[in-house]
Amino acid sequence: MVLAADEDTRRPSAPVITTARQEGPGEVQLVWDASRDNVGVAEYRILGNGRPLLTLDATADLFETFWFLDDLPHGNLWIQIQAIDAAGNESVRSAPSYVRVDNTRMRPPSNVDAIFDPRRQCMTVSFDPSPDERGVSRYVIRENLVVSGSVTVDDPSARDRITTETCSIGGSGWTAHVQIEAEGAVAERSVRTAPVAVYRHHHHAPTGFTAQVIGTTAVLTWDEPEPRMRAASFRILDALQPIADVPADSTGTTLELEPGRHWLQLATVNDEGGESRRTAPIAITIEPDATGVVAGWVFHDQNGDGLQSAGEPGVADARVSLIQASTGEELDVLTTTADGNYAFGGLPTQWCYIVSMTVRGAAPTLTGVGPDRSLDSDLNTDGATDELCFADGDRRIDADAGVVVAGGD
């Protein structure tokens, strides 16, 4: 017989039971060392007295090698575990572990639900009370077998659903297996409920986060979140500060951002407001829309009335500087043409500017005379204009400056 090169015929190693003990009537705690396999174990079969009791999926996200057998019959029980790989190869059964099962217990609570809040590091647990008529005095809450809280029962006959919170984290690890048992007045206890697995840590950061710049728009994309992240929305942050939340079913969005440097991150947020780990920052730069023009005319106000009158000449070779209003930085310097004109182009329209000029042997004339802003002088006594902003359009061609030349006619 010739086997295909990729056919798996190796059986897993036998599991080793490390703990098999009764935790209460009808309940056995079972812990074992994982089997080894050249490909990977797919299932574990648990047997009692040679008969299969249940099969566990070893590929599940929250799977761990311990379990609680409950509702077991009264009597002697020999427990074994067998590993099975994806090809169906079965390991040798583990050595049997003996447990004497006593199933005379009060009945446990049911329908357990647990939600973890990673911000507060607290667990909210809710469940239906035990139907046992012998009277429950309290309910004990365990996380990974460790007692993390309890609820005292004032009215044993009450059947309303119970909700409580515990901030005393039991056990260790990112996954909490929550169980509840009922306790009677004389310390009689029910079996524990089946474990409810809860992810009790900040979820991993979203994956596939990218950022692309188109003009002044940031185009963001990311992968769909894993179901276990329980994402209610995505949160976008810039320089560690939240700037937008988008629905959980989206895989991208666009943002209009101010010119400058940005450090973008992405996180998921669950229904309780718990935030996942954030992605590594992506640095992007939004360049300003550089289509603005600031221009004007420097004229000799011969009659000193602050207005551009017919026949008044322009001033050549006047030194004109362009200043960014918000920072005071001098951006450019030029001199006027022979007829007194000047113009600065290619300016970001998101900024405001100040024009400052110097004319040797001259001083600014009157400012803001008359109702017609196209005929007045915009130069203040300090030799600079007021702020010039692009409120409508991308051209400011009215920054004119009149000067009175000492000794002029």
- The 10s digit of each residue's pLDDT in 329-340 is 999 999 999 999
What is the pLDDT at residue 3? 43
What is the pLDDT at residue 200? 60
Structure tokens at 215: 């003009």
2 contacts: CB under 8 Å, gap ≥ 6 = none
Q: What's the pLDDT band for 205 if we cut at 50, 70, 90?
A: confident
Tell me the C-alpha distance between 187 and 256, whole Å: 64
Output the average pLDDT for the chain.
85
Structure tokens at 81: 């575990």
**2-16, 84-98, 383-397, range with the lowest pLDDT:** 2-16
pLDDT at 234 over 90: yes
281 contacts: CB under 8 Å, gap ≥ 6 = 263, 264, 265
Domain-by-domain residue ranges, the chain?
16-101, 110-199, 210-286, 290-405
365 contacts: CB under 8 Å, gap ≥ 6 = 301, 304, 305, 306, 377, 379, 402, 403, 404
What is the pLDDT at residue 1? 39
What is the pLDDT at residue 88? 93
**41-55, 179-193, 229-243, 251-265, range with the lowest pLDDT:** 179-193
CB atoms under 10 Å from CB of 353, counted, come to: 23
* % the chain with pLDDT above 70: 89
Most confident option among 80-89, 112-121, 363-372: 80-89
Q: What's the pLDDT band for 171 if we cut at 50, 70, 90?
A: very low
| CB 61, CB 13: distance < 8 Å | no
| CB 36, CB 47: distance < 8 Å | no
More confident residue, 333 or 136: 333
Closest CA to 187 of 130, 150, 127, 136: 136
Dihedral sign for Cα 88, 93, 94, 99, please.
positive
Q: What's the pLDDT band for 92 if we cut at 50, 70, 90?
A: very high
Matching CATH topology for 110-199 and 210-286?
Answer: yes
Residues 182-197 have a mean pLDDT of 78
Tell me the C-alpha distance between 83 and 190, whole Å: 31
Domain 210-286, CATH among 2.60.40.10, 2.70.160.11, 3.40.140.10, 1.10.3720.10: 2.60.40.10
What is the pLDDT at residue 144? 84
CATH superfamily, domain 290-405, is Immunoglobulins (2.60.40.10)
Structure tokens at 397: 């061609």
For the chain, give the number of residues. 409
Residues 347-372 have a mean pLDDT of 88
pLDDT at 25 over 80: no
What is the pLDDT at residue 407? 61
Tell me the C-alpha distance between 78 and 48, whole Å: 5
pLDDT at 170 over 90: no
CATH superfamily, domain 110-199, is Immunoglobulins (2.60.40.10)
What is the pLDDT at residue 398? 85
What is the pLDDT at residue 16? 95
Domain at 16-101: CATH code: 2.60.40.10
Q: What's the pLDDT band for 5 if we cut at 50, 70, 90?
A: very low
Q: What's the pLDDT band for 243 if we cut at 50, 70, 90?
A: very high
pLDDT at 2 over 60: no
**49-63, 110-124, 288-302, 354-368, range with the lowest pLDDT:** 110-124
- Cα angle at 95 between 92 and 101, to 5 degrees? 125
What is the pLDDT at residue 4? 47
What is the pLDDT at residue 229? 67
Q: What's the pLDDT band for 174 if we cut at 50, 70, 90?
A: low
Q: Tens of pLDDT along 263-301? A: 999 998 877 666 778 899 999 988 777 778 999 999 999
Q: Tens of pLDDT along 375-387? A: 889 999 898 999 9
215 contacts: CB under 8 Å, gap ≥ 6 = 289
What is the pLDDT at residue 172? 46
Tell me the C-alpha distance between 234 and 250, whole Å: 8
**What one-character DSSP code corresponds to residue 314?**
B
